[in-house]
């Protein structure tokens, strides 16, 4: 890759593939074809640590670059793991892709919503310290995250810099709630070992949150028209399958995630 296009990387935390496929999400679906992919981990930190090393979700049965990160990676760290049959979209030097983009002269901007991204904690700093500017939302507050991204992207472009922007969104994470939702964020229908869980309500809420995100994220996607965009989930949730609920456990439903991408 000879040019330096802007890059947007979005993770819908805990979003199941089947929920995304059922949602009316025209803006996100316009990024690229929906891939039924598998995450490298079943919880937020493990998945994002792998993502930041170039191991994005993929379908191992499809011998296609970028769809199958073993066949050909979207992001590859120099010296990191199997190179793949096909060339990566971009190969980066550094200790992770955030550092790698910065070494290429990009402004690295990030925002996270779940606790693993809290820079006030040692664990949070492991994922966030390489960003030049990072905003921790502390829950499902995408509108505040969007405001941060739009401001920082504008400043970077005014300075003539290419942008690598990352956003982790929590609306699709338990308890599946978005600003203005007509249900309480204090009632969680998906609790590990819970006695009053509700799979139907979990699905209804997560689908509604995806559709809300799709409307709210449109200006951010428009700001990256013609740029590289990767949208995926870090993991899914169990909704009663085999008696299991939520994530942080090995199960087909916690590993099956949506993946969409556009690479100029």
Distance CA 104, CA 75 (A): 13
Mean pLDDT of all residues in 251-261: 98
What are the residues whose beta carbons fall under 8 Å from the beta carbon of 143, sequence distance 6 or more? 179, 216
Domain that holds residue 69: 7-262
For the chain, what percent of residues have pLDDT higher than 90?
A: 96
- Mean confidence (pLDDT) of the chain: 96
**Cross-strand partners of 100:** none
Q: Is residue 135 part of a domain?
A: yes
Per-residue pLDDT, 227: 97
240 within domain boundaries: yes
25 located within any domain: yes
Please choose, from the candidates 160, 165, 159, the residue with its C-alpha nearest in 3D space to the C-alpha of residue 134: 165
In this model, does residue 192 exceed pLDDT 70? yes
Model confidence at 186: pLDDT above 90 = yes
215 contacts 29 by C-beta, under 8 angstroms: no
CATH number for the domain spanning 152: value is 3.40.720.10
* Residue 81: inside a domain: yes
Do the domain assignments include residue 2? no
Exposure of 148 by Cβ count < 10 A (0-12 exposed, 13-18 middle, 19+ buried)?
buried
pLDDT > 50? residue 3: no
Give the residue among 168, 166, 165 at the shortest CA–CA distance from 157: 165
Tens-place pLDDT, residues 100-109:
999 999 999 9
Structural tokens at position 152: 């920082």
Among residues 249, 235, 242, 233, which one has the least CA distance to residue 34?
233
Q: State in Å, rounded, how far the first CA of the chain is from the last one.
A: 9
Pairing of strands 35-38, 256-262: antiparallel
Tokens of 198: 């509700």
Q: How far apart are CA 93 and CA 77, in angstroms?
A: 6
Mean pLDDT for 121-130 is 96
Query: Above 60 in pLDDT, residue 1?
Result: no
User: Do 113 and 134 touch, CB atoms closer than 8 A?
Assistant: no
pLDDT surpassing 60 at residue 130 = yes
At 33 the three-state DSSP class reads coil
- Split into its structural domains, the chain has a count of 1
Please name the residues in contact with 34: beta carbons below 8 A apart, sequence gap of 6 or more. 20, 21, 258, 259, 260
**Residue 199 domain flag:** yes
> What is the secondary structure of 184-242 as a DSSP string?
-TT--S--TT-SS--HHHHHHHHHHHHHHHHHHTHHHHHHTTTSEEEEE-S---EESGG
Q: What is the mean pLDDT of residues 75-83?
A: 85
Write the burial class of residue 156 (CB in 10 Å: 0-12 exposed, 13-18 middle, 19+ buried).
buried
pLDDT at residue 23 in the model: 98
pLDDT of res. 2: 38
What pLDDT does 220 receive? 98
1 in any annotated domain: no
* Residue 143: inside a domain: yes
131 φψ region: left (φ > 0), alpha (ψ -120 to 50), beta (else): beta
pLDDT of residue 4: 83
pLDDT digits (tens, 9 = 90+) for 208-247: 999 999 999 999 999 999 999 999 999 999 999 999 999 9
Whether residue 156 is predicted with pLDDT greater than 70 in this model: the reply is yes
């Amino acid at each position: 890759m000879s040019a330096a296009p802007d890059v947007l990387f979005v993770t819908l935390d805990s979003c199941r593939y089947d929920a995304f496929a059922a949602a009316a999400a025209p803006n996100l679906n316009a990024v690229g074809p929906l891939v039924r992919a598998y995450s490298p981990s079943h919880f937020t930190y493990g998945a994002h640590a792998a993502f930041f090393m170039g191991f994005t979700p993929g379908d191992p049965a499809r011998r296609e670059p970028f769809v199958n990160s073993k066949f050909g990676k979207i992001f590859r760290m120099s010296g990191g793991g199997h190179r793949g049959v096909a060339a990566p979209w971009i190969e980066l030097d550094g200790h992770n892709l955030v550092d790698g983009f910065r070494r290429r002269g990009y402004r690295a901007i990030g925002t996270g919503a779940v606790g693993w991204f809290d820079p006030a904690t040692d664990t949070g700093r492991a994922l966030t310290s390489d960003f030049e500017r990072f905003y921790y939302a502390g829950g499902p507050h995408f509108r505040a995250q969007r405001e941060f991204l739009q401001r920082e992207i504008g400043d970077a472009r005014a300075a003539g810099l290419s942008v690598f922007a990352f956003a982790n969104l929590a609306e699709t994470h338990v308890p599946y709630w978005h600003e203005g939702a007509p249900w309480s964020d204090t009632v969680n229908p998906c609790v590990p070992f819970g006695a009053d869980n509700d799979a139907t309500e979990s699905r209804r809420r997560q689908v509604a949150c995806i559709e809300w995100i799709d409307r709210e994220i449109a200006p951010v996607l428009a700001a990256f028209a013609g740029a590289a965009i990767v949208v995926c989930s870090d993991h899914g949730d169990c909704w009663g399958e085999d008696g299991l609920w939520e994530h942080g456990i090995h199960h087909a439903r916690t590993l099956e995630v949506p993946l969409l991408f556009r690479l100029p």
